[in-house]
Structure 1
């Protein structure tokens, strides 16, 4: 049903004198910058649409933009500037018709006559008469009517009449409306032809346009940084830029002016504040003005936030809707249901609030806003708001809760960025913030700055010593100081200092203060031992750290300790004992799982157990690992854990010849890129080396050759142990490329270095590369010494899966019978289970169901998988396993499987 224009009768004669100046086109200013990207008035656009609307707050250059483009065009146009007196229907339509008569002489004469005489029964008749005349006079040359300041027209009948006119306006005529308030331009109101709308976001100046404008204003070059600073301050508000430059004589003065405003937002120029009051605030209703200053104190605007923080009886929904209609608000970037003031408007409101509201009231509103953000939007939103309003103490409170989470995720850059938003005084007075900050600086490689702040932390610790004797310290203080000393130990390691003196001092201090949580202390000592090559001591310390983490319920410390315990086992070859220990950890985590970090710890343990099974040649459920990997990389594990899991999964995919999956996993590793320091700590090859290894598997000789050459150029005369993983892959690359002599000599050098550091896994790899290269050079001449060396390492390290992989990588080794049979002849390790040959004869026999459970466990199935296979519950599986452990006198699954093999129990039902 078409919308009918107003039916209110126009009574009485309308004898008014039209003011000629209302039809004058405004002049443009000399320093105005053309915005050619906004083609408001090209002929094609005008013919395609009946109506163009520009709406934006005061000072966005709407009028000037339209006037400039009209003067530069060849269009016929008429300008009509409206005012509050034109809100009377008879007066408005006299001016409206007179404007069209300037475009098409003779139109509307009948309507004008009836208006003067007051003989029209309704506005609909007036509009219909005018439109009919326009249709008759429609020609080939388009004409444009500009209605400036249309926001002053609030009479509903006038608005309906304009809509009615637009709906039926012939193509050769076009209406352009300029308004400070938003206009509803739905098709139901204005017809089927498109309506072009330009809002403040289209009209605001860009930094480049501001730079050109300032160059014209000061007649000198203006740097991009100055223009960018002006843009950030004004948000592209045209009048804001002009007012900032008022009474300034040079770019240097402008830069100084901007700096003073940035340091103190309350120092906005008086002319900016005055313009805002005159053109914006005074245009609002009194009740809106009284609420506006309080709204300016808030970081964003929503009905719920306003009601919770400001309270009162104000209808905030209506108020926000009205402010938005005046284009004073815009949607926030992250949530379109929330609004915010334009930046400069909000700065003005903040200044006015400081002038007109009591200081206590401002602080109270800001404090409630921070509490609201903490509860509903999170600590990060509350922190940034506290920083914005310079409430440093509350910002520190939020930050201390945020930093631990960031650090655990390995997001050291964010830690650094957040801390650096605080004044130095607040950083240097908080030991907790100092610890997180120094930790991030260490991992980002900013060692000089890190040591500077560590010195500040030492002063805090000394003052704590002076203030209270150690026996009176709270547990929180003890934890802080231990964490600080741990940070110093990390800083020393990452600065290149390898020594156990500081970790020993940490241990002594922990004993002195009777520190109850020793997982971190043992962990730090273990890391020092790991880097110093003292792997047996490192394994003991990591195991202690795991036990302490279990007792203290510290899943995060457990994650780190487990991963390094696993890495140590890979180097020493003590795989079965490591697997037994990790299975105990798995059982404990399977029982608890109370918190997110315990869940992540359980997945890390599962991955490490899968890695040990992989090294022992036992079957692995790769699909289950892939599901866990998806969870782990999205959970709250830190960079180290994610890197370790992806690294293992990439190698597993390469072993299974699933090269697309390996490439995908490797890409995730690259995206998770991390500083080389942590790859050294993990004893893992670099990402470029892993990429080259995948290229070897896929037959990309060009990529392998390019990587080998790049590593050769960076090669130092002396190889340190942290370079061994990459150098081992380089030796493999030489063999792959047929450069056997280089492969042999490099492998021999690496073998000696690995043996000296007790890295038996790497020593085995180096020894195999050496033997394969030697055979390639010498033919079928077998050197017994080299073969015995490999067999001995296999037996010592339990790296049985190396035989299959190495023979695949180096086919020449397949001809050596000693290697082919080494997996079979390798003596079993009985260090975990002492077997009595008469045990079987006196052992209580296993039931049929217990045998089924044991057989499934021997196939590498988890408790959950066993339950699914046998159609029983997980608790029933655990009950059967406990009975099995009791009958064959062992304490865990690994020992049970070992003893079952030795006693021949499994063979009985194969």
Structure 2
């Protein structure tokens, strides 16, 4: 006799959350034969399937399986009984066949069932709940036979904690399967809020419900246990306290009873041994277990859906569901506290030894092992700070007992660096003085670490050099930096990268761009050796900014690409935000704006805007707003440019004493916005004469004075403009300030033309054209006055062949160039090529030749970007330049033209 209650579909609670997005997936489809609903215990598999069938019009044969059904004859008896209970006629013939099937494969019975379903012709659904309890190979083979030959009107649904060993790969290729996995079953935040309010009848705020949802990761059983605990009349809570909190004790009991109790002893041992790992990989688990089979265990647990979540697509890194891991930790600490402590130390040691320092520190902090934390910070804190994690380091230091800080010069030095990077400069002087006194005593007392004390003295000098820059005391800053550079080879502390960055800032502040470039190249090289990604990014960003202003845009882009690739290769952590350099992203935004690619400029600017909103070092604030305003100005969004640049001017003046390095002259750009709006008097007003003497950086002083000259031209005073510009011209040429040199020549040319000196004006403008073409400057021409643009359009030199000339003609004509990827190039399809087919108006650069070769090999833009380790946008830019120089519009034309010129073999 069969137990008929196993055939009853669970009733659905009218208050249950309707999951229409999943119900739609379960519905029958043309090719589908199987719904596979696989998730750990408590994810709502049965509720979902029951809810779906309650709203469906077809017939349902439901079978709730138990551990006794893992026997072929019993399994098939119950499966046929489920169909019979649901009203499928003609099954009387199946029962005798089942009795006579000698090999227990039930082939005859299954064939008869298939034939009867086909004869019935109705829409049927077979649901097998708790299918993970079926492990017998004979049942699994027979069920695969049934699914292979089912009529199209029948859909099988398996609800299981593990993926069954059926021929799923073959069926997936045939599109027979709809997979409902844990990520789909997990409740969204909206569903969580609805669950607590409608199903559990709890009046929680959205923020409280969302917090529980995040903690449980949408695991409905954990949410229900939490809700049931909270509904049992807890003591009233303060108004500010959450009214409902995740009840980890009840969840732990649930895990132990529903999950661990059903695992083998070996699986349970693996789970408990690895519970301390915040993230898991095979080598980590092997190290703490003393074994070699951990990867196989991880893959087994993943196939069993034991709350193991993959963190990559290569099945190398995983993590346990947080609440599941908490339950495991509670279990092992209760069973064997000494072993738990040993496993924890092994886990932390492995994390620290393999570069996962932050994960290791977080585990130490959780256990409040303060002496170990102080030791780890002394060893790794400097690199963490220079990797952009100064705020966590500061928080960890402040959690240490005071005596551990007072007795450790290294920890005190770390605190100073962390405060410096956090821009809390006002607190540094007394701390540095206290630390200097401690170090002096150690040297005087011949302390065993006296040599380390001398190294820390160099670090103090380096910080004091940066503080001197905030006070515009460039002389003291330079003296301190060079003293550190002189002493640095005698210390054991890696400081060369930071010191050379300071030297680069000094040279940049003096307008010596070539010397600054050399120093910053050294800063990048030593930063890579010292593993300081923040210094590498900052040095590379400032170097790119300098190269851009020097007129070497391609080199600036290459610098950004190389530096970004090194940082991402050595310091990419998907759990942490991407390390961003204000200098680098600002340089990229300026470069792409200048090359008339505003979308790319905006993409590099976007990550910086949140720093403005949240608050950042005032110098960085001004730089970001300057670049933001410049992009708005270039695109004609003058009102936005006014607002942003006025903010930059205000912050620059108000916070001048807190700015470490002098930002660009925002007032000069603001004046240009007023000129563009037709308000030269307001432009003159915003150029405060007091600012002229406040700029210590010659680049910023030049920028300010060029704007002054523009205003004088606009006011009809060309002689005054000429006087200003003539004083700038030779210095800009001498110091390779090539961007400013082009601007000086352009405005000078307009001033001469206003004086009727047309031939001299054309000579100046031709010089500007030649210098801009050589450097790749483009957009700055369209930012000048309409009168000056008219003068440039009339230049005979502008009509010469070449991609740059054509881009400038297009820009000054008000048109944007086409996109380069298999679209008509700047010359247009079928455009006339150069007169001499053996020569190019502009030679191809090394990068363009490399792109050409990869195009010839048949690679897509994406493949080219990957092989060259550059952004796809950079590849598009190279292709656009390539098309322009070859005078073609498509890849096939480019290859044909390159072969004609002998650039490629035929």
TM beyond 0.5: yes
**Aligned ranges 1:188-207 → 2 under 5 Å:** 192=174, 194-207=176-189
SS in 1 for 2:35: strand
Per-residue CA deviation, residues 665-719 of structure 1 (Å, 9 max, x unaligned), is 686356456669988659x9634444555677x6x5x434652466568877996
The residue that corresponds to 2:317 in the other structure is 338
The residue that corresponds to 2:504 in the other structure is 563
Does the CA-based 8 Å contact 1:646-1:668 persist in structure 2?
yes
The residue that corresponds to 1:212 in the other structure is 194
**Aligned ranges 1:32-431 → 2 under 5 Å:** 32-39=16-23, 44-45=28-29, 48-116=31-99, 123-136=106-119, 138-140=120-122, 142-186=123-167, 192=174, 194-216=176-198, 219-249=201-231, 268-269=248-249, 271-311=250-290, 316=294, 319-334=297-312, 336-357=315-336, 359-376=337-354, 378-387=356-365, 391=369, 393-409=371-387, 411=388, 414-417=389-392, 419-420=394-395, 424-425=399-400, 429-430=404-405
- Pick closer, same or farther for the CA change 1:165–1:425 going to 2, 3 Å: same
Per-residue CA deviation, residues 382-402 of structure 1 (Å, 9 max, x unaligned), is 334444555555455555555
**Aligned ranges 1:705-716 → 2 under 5 Å:** 707-708=641-642, 711=645
- Pick closer, same or farther for the CA change 1:325–1:462 going to 2, 3 Å: same
Q: 2:637 aligns with which of 703, 707, 710?
A: 703
Whole-angstrom CA distance in 2 between matches of 1:112 and 1:567: 92
The residue that corresponds to 1:595 in the other structure is 529
Deviation at 1:725, TM superposition (A): 1.2
The residue that corresponds to 1:659 in the other structure is 595
- Pick closer, same or farther for the CA change 1:391–1:334 going to 2, 3 Å: farther
Deviation at 1:197, TM superposition (A): 2.9
Per-residue CA deviation, residues 226-269 of structure 1 (Å, 9 max, x unaligned), is 3233334433333333333445436865989x999999x9x832
**Aligned ranges 1:463-542 → 2 under 5 Å:** 472=447, 474-475=449-450, 478=453, 515=457, 517=458, 521=461, 523=462, 526-527=465-466, 530-535=469-474, 539=478, 542=481
The higher relative CO (CA closer than 8 Å, separation ≥ 6) is in 1
Deviation at 1:310, TM superposition (A): 0.9
Deviation at 1:77, TM superposition (A): 1.8
Per-residue CA deviation, residues 631-677 of structure 1 (Å, 9 max, x unaligned), is 235556999996556767877899xxx53379856863564566699
Per-residue CA deviation, residues 788-842 of structure 1 (Å, 9 max, x unaligned), is 676567678866866653241354433689x9999xxxxxxxxxxxxxxxxxxxx
- Pick closer, same or farther for the CA change 1:734–1:679 going to 2, 3 Å: farther
Given the two structures, how large is their TM-score scaled by the length of structure 1?
Answer: 0.67
Does the CA-based 8 Å contact 1:744-1:770 persist in structure 2?
yes
Whole-angstrom CA distance in 2 between matches of 1:362 and 1:687: 50
1:22 is the counterpart of 2:2 = no
Does the CA-based 8 Å contact 2:669-2:707 persist in structure 1?
no
SS in 2 for 1:296: coil
SS in 1 for 2:74: helix
Whole-angstrom CA distance in 2 between matches of 1:606 and 1:71: 63
Whole-angstrom CA distance in 1 between matches of 2:419 and 2:287: 39
Whole-angstrom CA distance in 2 between matches of 1:179 and 1:583: 63
Per-residue CA deviation, residues 133-160 of structure 1 (Å, 9 max, x unaligned), is 3222x224x2223222322222211221
- Pick closer, same or farther for the CA change 1:252–1:211 going to 2, 3 Å: farther
Answer with 206-215 or 600-609: which moved more.
600-609
Does the CA-based 8 Å contact 2:59-2:86 persist in structure 1?
yes
Whole-angstrom CA distance in 1 between matches of 2:23 and 2:278: 35
Q: 1:686 aligns with which of 598, 618, 623?
A: 623
Q: 1:668 aligns with which of 597, 604, 622?
A: 604
Does the CA-based 8 Å contact 2:36-2:178 persist in structure 1?
yes
Whole-angstrom CA distance in 1 between matches of 2:374 and 2:651: 49
Whole-angstrom CA distance in 1 between matches of 2:397 and 2:244: 16
The residue that corresponds to 1:886 in the other structure is none
Whole-angstrom CA distance in 2 between matches of 1:602 and 1:306: 34
Per-residue CA deviation, residues 295-343 of structure 1 (Å, 9 max, x unaligned), is 3233344443332211259x54554454334321433324633333332
Does the CA-based 8 Å contact 2:162-2:305 persist in structure 1?
yes
Does the CA-based 8 Å contact 2:541-2:584 persist in structure 1?
yes
Whole-angstrom CA distance in 2 between matches of 1:396 and 1:189: 56
Deviation at 1:112, TM superposition (A): 0.8
- Pick closer, same or farther for the CA change 1:445–1:99 going to 2, 3 Å: same
Per-residue CA deviation, residues 602-624 of structure 1 (Å, 9 max, x unaligned), is 99999989999999xxx965544
- Pick closer, same or farther for the CA change 1:253–1:27 going to 2, 3 Å: farther
Whole-angstrom CA distance in 2 between matches of 1:170 and 1:221: 49
- Pick closer, same or farther for the CA change 1:99–1:549 going to 2, 3 Å: same
SS in 2 for 1:328: coil
- Pick closer, same or farther for the CA change 1:732–1:540 going to 2, 3 Å: farther
SS in 2 for 1:38: helix
Answer with 702-711 or 196-205: which moved more.
702-711
**Aligned ranges 1:421-820 → 2 under 5 Å:** 424-425=399-400, 429-430=404-405, 432=410, 436=414, 439-440=417-418, 443-444=421-422, 451=427, 472=447, 474-475=449-450, 478=453, 515=457, 517=458, 521=461, 523=462, 526-527=465-466, 530-535=469-474, 539=478, 542-544=481-483, 546-548=485-487, 554-570=495-511, 575=512, 595=529, 622-635=553-566, 643-644=582-583, 659-660=595-596, 664=600, 668=604, 671-672=607-608, 686-690=623-627, 692-693=629-630, 702-704=636-638, 707-708=641-642, 711=645, 725-744=665-684, 746-747=686-687, 749-750=688-689, 752-755=690-693, 766-767=704-705, 769-770=707-708, 773-774=711-712, 776-777=714-715, 782=719, 805-814=743-752
The residue that corresponds to 2:839 in the other structure is none
Answer with 454-463 or 379-388: which moved more.
454-463
Decide which structure has the larger Cα Rg and report it. Answer: 1
Deviation at 1:175, TM superposition (A): 2.7
Does the CA-based 8 Å contact 2:193-2:209 persist in structure 1?
yes
Deviation at 1:351, TM superposition (A): 0.9
Whole-angstrom CA distance in 2 between matches of 1:297 and 1:204: 24
- Pick closer, same or farther for the CA change 1:108–1:380 going to 2, 3 Å: same
Does the CA-based 8 Å contact 1:520-1:557 persist in structure 2?
no
Deviation at 1:362, TM superposition (A): 1.4
Whole-angstrom CA distance in 2 between matches of 1:383 and 1:611: 36
Given the two structures, how large is their TM-score scaled by the length of structure 2?
Answer: 0.67
SS in 2 for 1:298: coil
Does the CA-based 8 Å contact 1:57-1:200 persist in structure 2?
yes
- Pick closer, same or farther for the CA change 1:429–1:531 going to 2, 3 Å: same
Deviation at 1:183, TM superposition (A): 1.2
Does the CA-based 8 Å contact 2:126-2:156 persist in structure 1?
yes
* Two-structure CA RMSD over aligned residues (Å): 5.2
